[in-house]
Structure 1
Amino acid sequence: MARRFAIAILLGLALLQLPFASADDSPTSANGLTDGVSSSGYVCDPDGCSPRDKTDYWKIQGKMGDIVSVSFSGSMSNPAWWCINDGWEGTFTMGSVTQNVDDGNPTATLSTTLSTAGEILLKIEAKDSWCNDGFDYTLTPSIDKTNRDSDEDGFVDTGDDCVSLVGTSTNDRSGCTDSDGDGWSDPDSGWGVQNGADAFASEPTQWLDSDNDGDG
């Protein structure tokens, strides 16, 4: 009896040493993804798995107008031989959209367009099947920046003369500060009146002083 009790204690201590979760098991501890760089992980429903890591969270940053796509590819490297005809199953989620994945459909791609700068959360989760409950996966993100508007002023970066500055000017420059709202941008250190900036930045009815007399 004493021997059985000792064995039970040793088994209990051994189980305590098993990792129950990794650091990416909640949205607040999600690992970051980088555009164009693949990242890998492993999840397993806690039905006899070690480590018992059912869910992984990932995040990726984007700006207004970005189309963010993330491709998923899953596989099971060492299936149990006694689990005949039982493959792995799981879900791949981006934001509010979820895609079922399994050994019959091991790849998927989800995408979203950002209406404002922010963080997109992704979740990989293993599902309990008969016995093969774990799988390896790779995520590959891609960000289409064609319509990116970094300063969110309505001017796409490729056509915005002041990419990091919110502005409304449209005449001499696009997307730069226009204090009086007449379409001509305020002069600054890199763009003066001689370049076409507003000679009267606080007067909406005047913008050009062609004879340099102080009047528009």
Structure 2
Amino acid sequence: MKKFALIVAGGSGKRMGAPISKQYLPVAGKPILMHTLERFRDAVPDVELILVIPPADFDFWESLILDYKFTIPHRLVGGGKSRFQSVKNGLDAINSEVGLVAIHDGVRPFVRHEVIRESFEVAEKTGSAIAVVPLKDSIRRLSDDGKSFFQERQYFRLVQTPQTFHLAKIKKAFQVPELVHFTDDATVYEHQGWQVTLISGNAENIKITTPEDMDFAEYLASKTGH
């Protein structure tokens, strides 16, 4: 089946406190987004890459491509006011109902090749594949009256991306109005009454959000030869 990867990077990076959005900050000598695009191209060489960023950033991104001599083919799509809208814009830009699409946060540049490949393989068989990792810490649930309650952590998972789907089904799922509980693509898919399939992610597949994350990202890059 034809494979697409929707790399979504519509954030402003306010928590980073940097003069440019976090997705354009350099890690190991080049912008985070370039690392992420490379990961998908290297894992699945025939994947069609679609990068969703704010329309106001198009010229800046093109200048970065020239500055860093970045040659991996990809299409640009303008993002929306929310992640939901940005993903919907990206899906609408795919002129096909047949195939598989991996939706991935642009600021997760350390996803393993094996996770990307498995996400496509499992989604082809089951309709979806959501990367998750187990919790390491104990967790407690807070109630409205301020009390807390112990929870068995083995029944919970931390959700990452990629989240990969049959193209026709996820396109249908995104035809509904945006709801507050749509925290990721899996919740949009589930809203149709479909069960998602979980796969193992990788612990170093962090979402770079804060200055501390940038320090850790440089460490990970040095260890992985990114």
- Please tell me the TM-score bracket, short chain as reference: under 0.3
Structure showing the higher strand proportion among its residues: 1
Q: Which has the larger radius of gyration?
A: 1
TM-score, reference length from structure 2: 0.20
Higher RCO (C-alpha 8 Å, min separation 6): 2
TM-score, reference length from structure 1: 0.21
